[in-house]
């Protein structure tokens, strides 16, 4: 199955009222696990690489090209997305490498500067058939717009989307990045109002902190793209630690990275089913 445009995955899901899983890649094992889980669930999936992960690897091409190769070898549609990019140079590099979408994050700027910068990035990407996600307010866990009580204003979101031309919008509705518990309370009524007002697919960041029922409810209310990272990292670390605890003499990383990869694949398959209406 060839690498798929992000809109070919998100667009049909948006129109059908189902969710799409977007999972963060930290290293090659993550990319392999995510695709394996998607193949098991027989669902399309989005592989995401964040600007933080690019810094960890020292450059985008090593992890980016490896992820693109995994996507191209998949048996289900797979898109590759740049997540939370604040650098326009990094956005341009991702587009040159063949990423199918980018999330440009100018949310720390004042509204007018965020709007102008996002509009410029959208024009650059649109000319190259690359889908663009943006953020209004700070969807942070790092507090920001995902701090308790902070929410996206529907009218402001509508105007931002119209002025920038973005294809999707990350919104603050109660979740928070980097949560290790799954007890975030999501505002379903606000999601429904945003979907009716904004007119483009909505993106839930910080979804690791939302339980299965909350994810299903968010999708039912109108959320489309659902980003998950920390929850998968917890599973990866748990499985690797369990193997190391029971095999203290091991020295071959493959012996504990393999079970960790399998644990992530199982969670991806489960979450993709939840997002597609498979709760219960």
Residues marked active site are found at: 83
CB of 147 closer than 8 Å to CB of 112: no
Structure tokens at 8: 């070919």
CB of 207 closer than 8 Å to CB of 175: yes
SS3 257: helix
Nearest-CA neighbor of 28 among 215, 254, 228? 254
SS3 234: helix
Q: How far apart are CA 21 and CA 263, in angstroms?
A: 17
SS3 168: strand
- ∠ CA 236-242-245, rounded to 5°: 135
Place of tokens 């189902």: 18
Structure tokens at 105: 């994050």
CB of 174 closer than 8 Å to CB of 214: no
- DSSP labels, 64-101: HHHHHHHHHT-SS-EEEEEEEE--HHHHHHHHHHT-SE
Question: What is the torsion angle, in degrees rounded to the nearest 10, for the CA atoms of residue 278, residue 233, residue 42 and residue 128?
Answer: 110
Q: How far apart are CA 64 and CA 243, in angstroms?
A: 29
């Amino acid at each position: 199955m060839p690498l798929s445009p992000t809109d070919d995955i998100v667009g049909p899901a948006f129109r059908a009222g189902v969710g799409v899983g977007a999972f963060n890649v930290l290293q090659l094992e993550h990319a392999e696990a995510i695709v394996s889980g998607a193949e098991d669930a027989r669902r399309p999936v989005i592989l995401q690489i964040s600007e933080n992960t690019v810094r960890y690897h020292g450059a985008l091409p090593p992890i980016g090209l490896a992820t693109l190769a995994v996507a191209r070898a998949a048996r289900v549609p797979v898109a590759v997305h740049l997540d939370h990019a604040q650098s326009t140079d990094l956005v341009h590099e991702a587009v040159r490498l063949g990423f199918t979408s980018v999330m440009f994050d100018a949310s720390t700027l004042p509204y007018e500067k965020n709007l102008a910068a996002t509009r410029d990035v959208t024009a650059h990407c649109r000319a190259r058939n690359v889908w663009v996600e943006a953020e209004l307010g700070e969807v942070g866990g790092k507090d920001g717009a995902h701090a308790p009580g902070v929410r996206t204003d529907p009218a402001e979101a509508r105007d931002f989307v119209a002025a920038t031309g973005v294809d999707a919008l990350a919104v603050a509705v109660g979740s928070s990045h980097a949560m290790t518990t799954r007890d975030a309370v999501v505002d379903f009524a606000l999601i429904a109002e945003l979907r009716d007002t904004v007119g483009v697919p909505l993106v839930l960041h910080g979804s690791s902190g939302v339980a299965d029922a909350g994810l299903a409810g968010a999708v039912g209310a109108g959320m489309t793209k659902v980003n998950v990272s920390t929850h998968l990292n917890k599973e990866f670390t748990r499985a690797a630690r369990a193997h190391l605890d029971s095999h203290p003499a091991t020295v071959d990383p493959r012996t504990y990275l393999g079970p960790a990869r399998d644990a992530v694949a199982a969670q991806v398959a489960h979450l993709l089913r939840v997002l597609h209406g498979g709760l219960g």
